[in-house]
Structure formats: structure tokens, C-alpha cells
Structure 1
Amino acid sequence: MRRLGSVQHKIPCVFLTEVKEEQSRKRDCQQFQVVATENVNPVALEANIHCAVATEKIDGTCCYVTLHKGRPHLWARLDRKPNKQAEEELKKHQHQHRSCKGFSWNVEEDFKTVPEAWIPAHRVQHHNGHPVPDEHGHIPGWVPVQKDNKQYCWHCSVLDPEGMAVLVLRPGVDDEDELEVAAVPLADLLEQTLELIGTNVNGNPYGLGSKKQPLQCLVSHGSVGVRNPPSVDFQQLTSWLRESPEGRVEGIVWHCSDGTLIKVHRHHLGLRWPDEETRLGARPVVVHVDGPLGEFIDSKDLFSSFSRLNGQRFGRLRDIQFDL
């Protein structure tokens, strides 16, 4: 399933939410938490969520594949954020109103500069030719990944030496429970968003690799389905996420037939993440990465490392190891 350059934090929660006066678990500067009520969001009902396809919400950092200088390229998520003065004003507003909503921005003066190649995400609205920040004061966007930029070294690790293909984790073709690590041309992923997961991303909830052998890969949004998902009911969803082995996921993203996306995160329901072994990390995986061999045989890049494991199966995703 494709989502064109959009970003997940804009997706509405499946339940109506309310504000609690306690420190946010997700945002350090936010002195309140947004939690789910037991009432289903009318937006979800209007989109016929009961007939939607449920997919696993993947915990990583968002990426995007689109053209750069005329060729397919991997882009990293980069939000344009307020400068120090504007951020202080926003904090005052948050404290007074318990929300970011209603804050007035001067888009030309209140935001930090971004690289020249930066582009806003597709869903960002514009006013007088300028992108409009979201309710958190961010302007979601993308910047092309460059191999000489250490800030994106983990993004670069999933690129082949020529920058034309990436390492993708996806469901297997013959076994619905088995995963597959494969080399996929960027041209086949154009206009898709994906999640970068691995050793050095978001605390590595899926247990991939190690400090000695870092391992990253990309997962296309909407590609990992949820088997036998619970009904869209507060109690049933909470029980499923807390008790079912299939529910050891960060959350669910529902893909509705009209294109609407609806989500629920464990934090919305007061549940920890990660909690014990994750469902994704516990799934069996097969490696299908051919080459490069020859002159690259002694290379430590991920493509060469995975090519030496080509055809091998592992009982769990987190069990993948490379021979040094």
C-alpha cells in the first residue's frame, strides 16, 4: 500500500482523545498527554473502518523515495522546526492553553533554515506560498540522503554502493508468517514512504543487529499486515495489545477503502512499548540478497554482508548474525 510522501503523525487516532495534565511520554516539551477515550472517532466510522485493512505500525524513522537530480533517490524525514525565540513563545502558549492549537506563526521569521534541497511533505498546507506548520509547530518534510553526511549514515547503510537499490524487509511470498530481506531497486519504490528500522534507530525495539554488527533495513508502510485483528472496540483492542502474541506491535494503521488512514498507538491506550519481545522481531526470516561479490567480498557494507547469507533462514528476525 502506498502513501505519497505523507507522514504518520498526521493520521487521526481511531478513538476520540482527551488531554491529561501530566508529562507527555513522547514529547519532552509537552506538559500534557493525549489519551484515547472509549468513543470511536467519527472520521473512522465515516471511512468505514470496520472494513479496512489493518497493518502493523512500524517503529522507526520515516523515509521517502522520489526523484532527485533526475534519478530515484532515498530521502530522510526532516521537519522544519521553530527557532529558539518562537519555541519559547510556543511553550508559553502550551502552558496557558494545554494545547499547541491556535498559536500564530510568522512562517518567514519563526523557523530554522533547512538545506536548499529540502521539500515539504505532500500533505503540508501552504499559505501565501509558504508551508504552514502543523499543530506541534513542525513543517514535515524531506531531505535527500547524501553519503558524505554523517547525520544520515544509518540511512546510507541500507543503500547499495551505487545508490540504486536498498535493503527492504517485507513479508515472504510463499509463507504469510515468514519475512524476507531483499535488495529492491529504488525505481520500484518511487513515491512510497518507508520506515527505517534497526540497531541505531529509536532504541532498536525489534532487536536487530548489535553495536559490533549494526543492522538497518527499510519497511514499506502498509506492507506488514495484522493477522486476525481485533474489532474496533476500546476494550478488545486494549486486551489484544496487552495479551495476544500477535498484539506485540507498536500500534495499528488501518487502510480504508477511500484512502483514509486511521491509527492507534499503544501510548494512546496507556500501554508500554516495547513490551517483551516484539511480534516483528520474533518472526522467521529468509535472506534473498544476491551479490555484490567479487571485489566486494571482503567489504563490511550491509549488502555484502547479506549477500554472504543469501538463501539462509533464521528462526527469528532478531537472530540474524554476520560472520566476521
Structure 2
Amino acid sequence: MRRLGSVQQKMACVFVTDVKEEASRKRESQQFQVVATDNVNPVAREADVDGALATEKLDGTCCYVTVHQGQPVLWARLDRKPNKQAEKRFRKYQQAHRSCKGFSWNVEEDFKTVPETWIPAHRVQHHRGLPVPDEHGHIPGWVPVEADNKQYCWHSSVVDYEVGSALVLRPGSSDDDDDDDVLEVAVVPLADLQEQTLELIGTNVNGNPYGLGSKKQPVHCLVSHGSVRIRTPPPVDLQQLCSWFQESPAGRVEGIVWHCNDGTLVKAALFAVSAGSPAPPGAALAGRGHLPRGQTGGDPGGRDGRRLQQQEGPVRILPGSERTALRPAEGRRL
């Protein structure tokens, strides 16, 4: 299997974007929204997006595995953000110009402090030895997840540094032809995940859109970026993508991420491509790996009916020595 792209920075939209003069549905303080146009982004065309691998855009929090103090560990995403004064200046400029281009930052004075262990993400530009903010005014970066850090307790719940392993939801490795669609929760050596980015999903992450676990029995796991494939993705066409998101059962996803052969990543998010017409209820994220009520105590549809795509039915957890297989429950449908 080819090496998939690493999510180190904000991904470009697969379409050229435009500014719409109405309040953002994503950011409360923003009185305009960025929407996709009919034109394919030249970056996507140059990277041959039509030949790219289409995968599900996951709805959790981004993580990274790399070495810290001599061993591979899990790192949590921590973007260095402007302080209040700089943020106010930046938003005022953004409102006036409907763009961030041309705004001048003083990196040494305008940004909040971060832990000494913080590192900037790959491909963050530097000027005079200092990392440069992206167009959103953030400096993407990472901090190592330590077992005794309560702020990252859900991150630390999916790793065991003594054993050197992590709990990962991934495509099944069964030889049974009937289990082609199985996802399994496996104990994976952190060394095997080194330099990969993954999504932490679960009960206490981002509103739990997948309905995993419950307050009494929280469930969390990591999903490698690019591992949840979209089997029959729509063409890279705005109208066809809108129809797919709103009408196809497979389109119940937060978005699509295309992994191009040259390493370029581009995305189409539901909220951006369907900004002109609200999506129908429950058509927000997709479906494989959803755990139904009674199996883990979770809400059978998450907060909005989302499922990780590819499983067509509810799933149950089956005990195993090193992994837990997720399989469709017989005779039941979502």
C-alpha cells in the first residue's frame, strides 16, 4: 500500500473558494463565509486529483506519532494562536479586506506562549528562525502526550508507553471473504505508526459524532488518516459532490480528503460545498465503525446520525486477545 499523506497543516479545498456576504455557519464571530465555487483548485489539478485516493474526512482531533525522549509517542495538535490584542487586530483587518493576505505579524509578541516541548508542524514556513503563521493566523504544531497530563487524558487513554502501543481502529485483516468490510480495533506498536498522523475519536472528543461509548463507559481510539476509504467516490465536480453529500447513503460524511500521488492533500468539506443549501438532517458524517446502543451504551446515531462509512449496518464488539472486530449485527439496520 502506498504511503499516504500526513495531515500537518490545513488542507486546501479541492475547489477554488469565494467569500459569501452572510454570517459564517462555522465561526460565530465571522460575518462572512467561505464557499466552494465550480472551479477545481489548480493545486488539485496539478496533483492529478482525479487519480487520487478518496478517503473519509474524520471528525475528531488530529494527532501525530513521532519520537520524544528516545521513544515514539503520541503528540496532540496544539496550534499557537494570537493573543487577544493581536487577534482583535487580525479580525478587524480580515473584516475590512475579506482576506488575511497582507496582514503583518510580530511572531515574538503577537502569540500566546506554548509549552517548551511544543514543535511546529512539518512545512510550517520560517522567517529569521521563527515559524510564520498560516492564513488563519495560527502556527500549527504538536505537544507530546504525557500520561499524567489531565488536559490530554483522552489522548493518553489510547496509548500505553510501557508496552509501546496504541489502540487503533483500522480495516480488518481477516482472511474470510465475508469480512471484507470489517473494521477492527487493534493494539498496534507505536513504532509502526511513526511519522503518521491519526484522528482521535470517541465519547469525549468533538461532541462524539459517531456515538461511541457513553459517559459511564467512554470509548476512544485512533484512526490513521487515509485508512477509511470511500469505495465509489463522486467525480470532482461541485454539483455532483453536493448531490452525493445530500442524497447518497455513502455521502453521510463530514467530507472527503483526496490523497494525491505526489503527497498533496485536498479536501471537500460538507459545510463548504453545500453552503448554498443546508444538508438534510443526519447527512453529516459517515458510516463504518458506529457502535449501537446496547453494545457500548452510546447513542445509536451520535449527535447527528453520523457513521464511519463502509459498514452498512450497526456493529458489535467481539472479544479477542489483541483486537476487537467490528461486524454488522445480524438482522438489524440503521
Q: Say yes or no: TM over 0.5.
A: yes
Q: Which letter maps to 1:226?
A: I
TM-score, length-scaled by structure 2: 0.83
TM-score, length-scaled by structure 1: 0.86
In structure 2, the residue matched to 1:290 is: 321
Q: Give the whole-Å Cα distance in 1 for the aligned partners of 2:318 and 2:193.
A: 19
In structure 2, the residue matched to 1:13 is: 13
Q: Is the 8 A contact 2:72 2:190 kept in 1?
A: yes
Q: Which letter maps to 1:191?
A: E
Q: Give the whole-Å Cα distance in 2 for the aligned partners of 1:118 and 1:204.
A: 27
Q: Is the 8 A contact 2:182 2:326 kept in 1?
A: no
Which residue of 303, 315, 319 maps to 2:328? 315
Q: Which letter maps to 2:230?
A: V
How much has 1:164 moved relative to structure 2?
A: 1.4
Aligned length: 297
Q: Give the whole-Å Cα distance in 2 for the aligned partners of 1:288 and 1:15.
A: 44
Distance 1:240 1:285, change over 3 A: farther
How much has 1:261 moved relative to structure 2?
A: 1.2
Q: Which letter maps to 1:263?
A: K
Residues 1-324 of structure 1 aligned to structure 2 (within 5 Å): 1-4=3-6, 6-7=8-9, 9=10, 11-160=11-160, 162=162, 164-174=164-174, 175-270=179-274, 271-272=278-279, 275=283, 278-280=286-288, 281=290, 282=307, 283=311, 284=315, 290=321, 313-315=326-328
Q: Is the 8 A contact 1:181 1:285 kept in 2?
A: no
Distance 1:277 1:66, change over 3 A: closer
Distance 1:74 1:276, change over 3 A: closer
How much has 1:28 moved relative to structure 2?
A: 3.3
Name the Cα RMSD after superposition: 2.1
Q: Deviations over 1:255-284 (max 9, x none)?
A: 111221111000112254853773132534
Q: Give the whole-Å Cα distance in 1 for the aligned partners of 2:72 and 2:80.
A: 23
2:160 counterpart SS class: coil
Distance 1:212 1:161, change over 3 A: farther
Q: Which letter maps to 2:66?
A: T
Q: Give the whole-Å Cα distance in 1 for the aligned partners of 2:34 and 2:124.
A: 22
1:59 counterpart SS class: coil
Distance 1:142 1:259, change over 3 A: same
Q: Deviations over 1:196-235 (max 9, x none)?
A: 0111111111111111111111000111100111111111
Query: Which residues of structure 2 form unaligned runs of 5+?
Result: 291-306
Query: Which residues of structure 1 form unaligned runs of 5+?
Result: 292-309, 320-324
